[in-house]
Amino acid sequence: MRKVAVVGIGHGKFGVRSDASLRELAFEAVKACLDDAGIPLKEVDSMVTGIAGDEFALGLQPSAQVHDYIGFHPKPNFRVEGACATGSIALRTGIMNVASGLADVVLVVGVEKMTEVPTSIATEIMGKAGDSIWEYPFGTTFPGYYALIANAHMAEYGTTEEQLAMVSVKNHYYGSLNPYAHMQKKITLEKALTSFTVAYPLKLYDCSLITDGAAAVIIASEERAKVISKKPVWIVGAGLATDTLRLGDRKSLTSILAAREAAKTAYKMAGVGPSDIDVATVHDCFTIAEIVAYEDLGFCEKGEGGKLIAAKETYVGGRIPVNVDGGLKSKGHPIGATGVSMAIEITKQLRGEAGERQVKNPEIGLAHNVGGTGQVVAVHIFRRE
């Protein structure tokens, strides 16, 4: 396979974007990305668009909305979908295009517009990502799914509601420093713990936001990357794995098999291990998800994730800074854009461009993106030049 690097990044503002349509959100990120790479759109050979929900997009060809609006036709563009891991699967697809030689320069766009439907409808739509026969018809929702995981983790390992809230406090702190974040405000531990219960033990501040937004990256072959960028960030590991659709068919609720397997593949490909990672973005759709991710990625022993956040080891300056862009919790979770946004944050960190959130001199970064409750998980590892 050919080497692949990120050579351009573009991030739109996440939030309730009543000022922009789906296609306009995508244009915002693509323009920023092209400007960052310093190349015109005509130099891009191919495009991959990650959009998770037809029901959110209000159309059956949302990727066509995007390529038409940015003027990309007649070049190749197609849509991928993998629930909440859609953005990272789009990135993986772009990597395969470049690594195989099908294209030299690929634009990867992730976008979602979720707030044009009421919150109750958005919750129902996302609930359909569970088993459509044995889960969704019985009223399951994603707060409910992750509440099951949280309760199991608390029962098995003694994880506490306070430790869950500590994840939220950390991510809101870093979100307050991120101009692209949906919720740019700090919260206290008390505020998190006293917010209303959504699905016990998960409270309001344990849950990520329903968000509009877009993110885009340009990736290129080694030959083109060295021409386009003075600071290419190499994608050196790519893991993808799956698990059962139904939670009830899994051996454990306290770990996600697909995350462990995807991480194993990515670490092996990159020739590194968990202790080599300098900065990470992980899928914190709910605070328990971040704690489980610490363990599944090998940042701590199984059952020790709560202690890792309590010791502030996942803050900047700690052993393994995690989600110092605010994560899904504070930055927001426009489903198709999330994985691409993660890649952008790691690229910024490795370039040394993260401002107040900058980790000191990172060399290797990791992005972990979970689809649904772990039906599909993507892990990518990045290394700076």
Dist CA 128 CA 108 (whole Å): 26
Alpha carbon of residue 135 to chain centroid: 24
Containing 340, the helix (H) or strand (E) segment is helix 335-351
Any idea what DSSP says for residue 286? Answer: B
Dist CA 51 CA 215 (whole Å): 11
Question: Residue 357 has which token pair?
Answer: 């959130």
Any idea what DSSP says for residue 322? Answer: B
Dist CA 223 CA 206 (whole Å): 44
207 as an active site residue: the answer is no
- Collapsed DSSP state (helix, strand, coil) of residue 128: coil
Query: 84, 207, 285, 300: which one is catalytic?
Result: 84
Judging by beta carbons within 10 Å of its beta carbon (0-12, 13-18, 19+), is residue 230 exposed, middle or buried? exposed
Question: Residue 165 has which token pair?
Answer: 């809230």
CB–CB of 217/88 below 8 Å?
A: no
Nearest to 257 by CA among 270, 244, 267: 244
- Collapsed DSSP state (helix, strand, coil) of residue 256: coil
Any idea what DSSP says for residue 135? Answer: T
Nearest to 15 by CA among 209, 182, 140, 208: 182
Question: Residue 346 has which token pair?
Answer: 């790691």
Judging by beta carbons within 10 Å of its beta carbon (0-12, 13-18, 19+), is residue 122 exposed, middle or buried? middle
Per the DSSP assignment, residues forming a β-bridge with 371 are 376
CB–CB of 183/330 below 8 Å?
A: yes
Dist CA 377 CA 332 (whole Å): 19
CB–CB of 205/384 below 8 Å?
A: no
Residue numbers annotated as active site: 84, 333
